[in-house]
Amino acid sequence: MDGLDMKASLVSSVREKELKAFDDSKSGVKGLVDAGILNIPGIFIRPPDELSAKSTYSRTQLQVPVIDFQGIENSDRRKQIVAQVQQASEHWGFFQVVNHGIPLSVLEGMIDGVRLFHEQDLETKKQLYSFDAKKKVRFFSNYDLYQSRTANWIDTLLLTMFPSDPVTADELPKTCRSTTMEYLKHLSELGDTVIELLSEALGLKADHLKAMDCSKGYKSFAGHYYPPCPQPELTKGVSEHSDSTFFTILLQDRIGGLQILHEDQWADVEPIAGGLVVNIGDMLQIVSNDKFKSVIHRALVNSVEARISVPCFFHGSTAPSIKYAPLEDLLSEENPPIYKSFQVSDYMEKFFSKPLDGEELRDLFKI
């Protein structure tokens, strides 16, 4: 073993020990902050090449489209909304919605519930700490902790929900039980509305994608908590990635930190009071045969206050009998299929077997 190999081996050994110590603490990133650290541990520090690359893309004052759902029951107004959804889905991959029907009190209650969970007594929170994907309700920090090049500054409460095995109130933490159940009830209705609009925006009947279980299938729901970071310039809240979903609906607090990559520029997704962020996922880009775009995005952290975001990921059906592929209604001789068919379980297995690193998983399914 030469000098460089020995150095790399030592670095790897030190990193493994740091990862294990962090994992064994079951305290998450908030535990580090509560301990009063002034310098973040090495497992969170981005490599020099990645830190220098931060300036590769400029930050802009571009703002993702905001779509007002007010009057959606009116046919003429609905056509306008569908046109806006189409434009945003094709060119941005992201849009924010307002007047979507979920009361502001429910949104604020959900944010407060996530905060209460993460800021509660640590010993109580530890009881849910797990990396076991079979558990429907669990708390952890970095699902790809041992796979990633660098850990992210984030703690997560995750709910995994299958139609055949829904999460019940009794399974939820007491700190956010009522707020989560109330929010999920409203979110299910909004998910149906969004998938209908996306279907119409593709030139299909409103129930086309819904009939494929794009909104009623497997869902995962996360309460992300990004504690204040003493050195935010050295790390990230979430690495660059695109979602593996059909679509995602995100509730974020007033702090901000979400950015999307638009025309090689990082655009901030500024929080809007009462607004929700919708983004296209990889699976919808595939079935739309690249008509809609699943866009790279990331989350930054700050040194002042904790940030909370609550995404719900709509993954589609995991039934072994169901495969998804570019929709025949959208194909022609001039627009042949770009992707092979896939099963959601296979796609998700590949997604969770790799770190969040910005690589396009969709490419593995290209013809």
- Kindly report, residue by residue over 150-187, the tens digit of the pLDDT: 999 999 999 999 888 889 999 999 999 999 999 999 99
The rounded Cα 216 to chain-centroid distance in angstroms is 18
pLDDT (mean) for 278-298: 97
Topology of the domain comprising 3-47+59-365: Jelly Rolls (2.60.120)
Per-residue pLDDT at 161: 92
Locate tokens 């490419």: which residue? Answer: 363
The pLDDT confidence band at residue 47, using thresholds 50, 70 and 90, is confident
The amino acid present at 150, given as its one-letter code, is T
Residue 15 DSSP one-character state? H
Q: Which two tokens stand for residue 120?
A: 């509660």
Query: What percent of the chain has pLDDT above 70?
Result: 93
Per-residue pLDDT at 1: 46
Per-residue pLDDT at 82: 98
pLDDT tens-place string over residues 191-219: 999 999 999 999 999 999 999 998 888 89
pLDDT above 90 for 286:
yes
pLDDT above 70 for 325:
yes
Q: Buried b / exposed e across 100-119, counting CB within 10 Å, b at 16+?
A: bebeeeebebbbebbbebbe
* Cβ neighbourhood burial of 30 (10 Å; 0-12, 13-18, 19+): buried
pLDDT tens-place string over residues 22-46: 999 999 999 999 999 999 999 999 9
Q: Which residue has the higher pLDDT, 62 or 130?
A: 130
Backbone angles phi, psi at 9, to 5 degrees: -65, -40
The rounded Cα 161 to chain-centroid distance in angstroms is 15
For residues 1 and 9, the answer to whether their CB atoms sit within 8 Å is yes
pLDDT tens-place string over residues 88-110: 999 999 999 999 999 999 999 99
This prediction's pTM? 0.93
Which H helix or E strand runs over 266?
strand 265-268
Per-residue pLDDT at 350: 87
Nearest one of 123, 64, 120, 79 to 250, comparing CA atoms: 64
Average pLDDT of every residue of the chain: 92
Nearest one of 174, 148, 316 to 239, comparing CA atoms: 148
Quick one: three-class SS letters along 147-180?
Answer: CCCCCCCCEEEEEEEECCECCCHHHCCHHHHHHH
